A and B are shown apart, each in its own frame.
Chain A
Amino acid sequence: MTSIAMQRRRATASRVWAQFRGSRQGMIGLAVLLVFVAMALAAPLLADVRELNPVFARAQGNPQWAPPSVFPPLGTDYIRRSVWAQFVWGSRVSLFVGLAATVLTILIGSVVGIVSGFVGGKVDAIFMRVTEWFLVIPFLPLAIVLASVLGRNVWNIIFVIGITSWPSTARLVRAQVLTVKQRLFVDRARSLGAGGGHIVAHHILPNVSGLILANATLAVPISILTETTLSFLGLGDPSAASWGKTLEEAFVNGAMARNAWWYFLPAGLGILAVVLAFTLIGRTLEEIANPRLSRSR
């Protein structure tokens, strides 16, 4: 049975891939994302990590505020560091924080949503009050307070993003669970003697997984943007060169006034491209995950 199940899983995977390949927007998104993932993975080969250190940069004799024409490929910043090195190493931090925070968001949101919707009654009431409590607290002040209380490192940033952005996922999932729970096939499973675990695993989850996936792909760009925001406000990890931090430093040190476009443009465009890539992939996956949405069948 397990080998049959494996076979079928492989068949499903190849079917999903075949459908995905047929979608232009999905393929564009995937290509863009792969470029950035490759860049993040190959960071040590593309740029010397020591270039991020101003002492090293000065010792190297780098010029200050040099445009790309003077110091290829992307010029230098106010303390002579290579912008290219910041861009390459920054993609690592941004992608990692974005993905990890999304996993946390979706995990908390889905568990709360499913338990709340499926169990109902008092559990639902309590869970939803907690969710509402998180929803009404203005996100940014809470994130700022948490980030400054917990300390400025990457894991805390991930935690802050996760803990502040799960409520909307929880409410969405709960709403969907409530409608699925009323469907006849759940009654049918119950009349067969199925317990709560079986019903959640076999009937509820498959019918909310599309929603969860769509929500996850929406949450990745939001997480990346949140990380950027927090870094831009000076609450990021000071030792991690994320894109948000590059933007903050460019802003604080007057890159705009100096017309030093090479300083802020790469990080800004990088965020835009990654966010767009995730959105395109997410929409394509959503179409495939929900058999009734897709046009091909």
Chain B
Amino acid sequence: MSEPILSVRDLVKHYPIRQGVFRRQVGSIKAVDGVSFDLMPGETLGLVGESGCGKSTVARTLLRLIEPTSGQALYKGTDIFSLGKGDMRELRQHIQIIFQDPYASLNPRITVGDIIAEPWSIHSDLLPKGKVGDQVRQLLELVGLNPNHVNRYPHQFSGGQRQRIGVARALALNPSIIICDEPVSALDVSVQAQVVNLLEDIQDEFNLSYIFIAHDLSVVRHISDRVAVMYLGKIVEEGVETDLYGNPSHPYTQALLSAVPVPDPGSEKKTRILLQGDVPSAANPPSGCHFRTRCWKAQDICAEVEPPLEQHFDTLAACHFAAPREVFAEG
């Protein structure tokens, strides 16, 4: 196996909760609480979980849009979190992001040509000014848009087209990793498929690594090589896509997968696992295993000892009673 292009170790992000006149810290929201994973060159790692589980926070800390509380993220051996301003600027060329909301992520007052050319105006040493126009047109063509639309404004495009603009912009600096933060969640299903296929095509063409964040399990399954499931700021299970979907061993993953709608009404019905209660507050997570309050397998040990993420059967799972169970119906 080759070296990972990005390896994240014990990433933690706690938001302080402040109260009173003196803004005293009375607690903290543990948005991300010790996340570790590796990303291989050319691989797609899916990151799934309910809203509020810390997926997007992971993405934002990796780009240092949010400063992490602690942890390491090694990009080809250099720690992203300890870089100075200048070095970080340099490194940003290699890691790009596509945001969920194609409406808010494009500046409405700038033409599409300028939006896509923005990376070069920030890193002006990368491309001579005379060539920017050609590059922008090439990128537009690459993502399936009409290159003659460079002078249009974002509001003149549909949601899917806007997301293609987002993809073009992310590709401009020729990055090696693209973090896709719910890139298709805001689009309708037929357009989702087009954008996902576009992402797959350009991945093959440029040998990109993706971190693909979503809450739609079917989309993640379609695009990912490996999938990590997050719950309350932690990764609870991680594995190769076929193993994780075929034989999940963490109870939360099983419950999550059993809730995926089956497109064929005539197919054999799997039992749906219904969880009790709500996700606990990240300000005050349960002791030991975060999932124990809603888990049907929970024992005393679950409240006392936090289960490490270890190999159980086909996948890595953080559970004392991990056992494979087939829950995902083949669509």
CA distance A184 to B92 in the complex (A): 17
Give the residue of A8, A187, A191, A209 whose beta carbon is less than 8 angstroms from that of B151. Answer: A8
Query: Which residues of chain B are near A203, meaning CB under 8 Å?
Result: 107, 110
CA distance A207 to B92 in the complex (A): 25
Query: Which residues of chain B are near A21, meaning CB under 8 Å?
Result: none
CA distance A202 to B109 in the complex (A): 9
Query: Which residues of chain B are near A185, meaning CB under 8 Å?
Result: 104-107
CA distance A85 to B108 in the complex (A): 50
Does A44 make an interface contact (CB < 8 A)? no
Please name the residue on chain A nearest to B63 by beta carbon. A191
CB pair B122–A191 under 8 Å, yes or no, is: no
Does B262 make an interface contact (CB < 8 A)? no
Does B121 make an interface contact (CB < 8 A)? yes
Please name the residue on chain A nearest to B95 by beta carbon. A191
CB pair A184–B122 under 8 Å, yes or no, is: no
A177-202 with Cβ < 8 A to chain B: 183-185, 187-194, 198, 202
**Interface code B48-87, partner A: CB below 8 Å = 1, 0 otherwise?**
0000000000001001010000000000000000000000
A189-237 with Cβ < 8 A to chain B: 189-194, 198, 202-203, 206-207, 209
CA distance A206 to B118 in the complex (A): 14
Please name the residue on chain B nearest to A11 by beta carbon. B151
Query: Which residues of chain B are near A192, meaning CB under 8 Å?
Result: 92, 96, 118-119, 122-123, 173
CA distance A191 to B110 in the complex (A): 18
CB pair A206–B105 under 8 Å, yes or no, is: no
B interface bracket (residues with beta carbon within 8 Å of A): 35 or more
Give the residue of B88, B110, B129 whose beta carbon is less than 8 angstroms from that of A193. Answer: B88
CB pair B104–A184 under 8 Å, yes or no, is: yes
The tally of CB-CB contacts under 8 A between chains A and B is 71
B101-155 with Cβ < 8 A to chain A: 101, 104-110, 114, 118-119, 121-123, 129-130, 132-133, 151, 153, 155
Does A72 make an interface contact (CB < 8 A)? no
Query: Which residues of chain B are near A194, meaning CB under 8 Å?
Result: 118, 122
Closest Cβ of chain B to A210, distance in Å, is: 8
Query: Which residues of chain B are near A189, meaning CB under 8 Å?
Result: 118, 122
CB pair A1–B130 under 8 Å, yes or no, is: yes
CB pair B129–A183 under 8 Å, yes or no, is: no
Does B99 make an interface contact (CB < 8 A)? yes
Query: Which residues of chain B are near A8, meaning CB under 8 Å?
Result: 151
CA distance A76 to B129 in the complex (A): 65
Does B272 make an interface contact (CB < 8 A)? no
Closest Cβ of chain B to A179, distance in Å, is: 11
CB pair B153–A291 under 8 Å, yes or no, is: yes
CB pair B89–A206 under 8 Å, yes or no, is: no
Query: Which residues of chain B are near A129, meaning CB under 8 Å?
Result: none
Q: A1-B129, A187-B65, A291-B153 are in contact. Are A202 and B105 (CB under 8 A)?
A: no
Does A295 make an interface contact (CB < 8 A)? no
Interface residues of A, Cβ cutoff 8 Å to B: 1, 4, 8, 183-185, 187-194, 198, 202-203, 206-207, 209, 291-292, 297
Interface residues of B, Cβ cutoff 8 Å to A: 60, 63, 65, 88-90, 92-93, 96-97, 99, 101, 104-110, 114, 118-119, 121-123, 129-130, 132-133, 151, 153, 155-156, 169, 173
| 22 A-B pairs with C-beta separation under 8 A | A1-B130, A1-B132, A4-B133, A8-B151, A185-B104, A185-B107, A187-B105, A188-B105, A191-B97, A192-B96, A192-B123, A193-B90, A193-B122, A194-B122, A198-B121, A202-B114, A202-B118, A206-B110, A207-B107, A207-B108, A207-B109, A292-B155
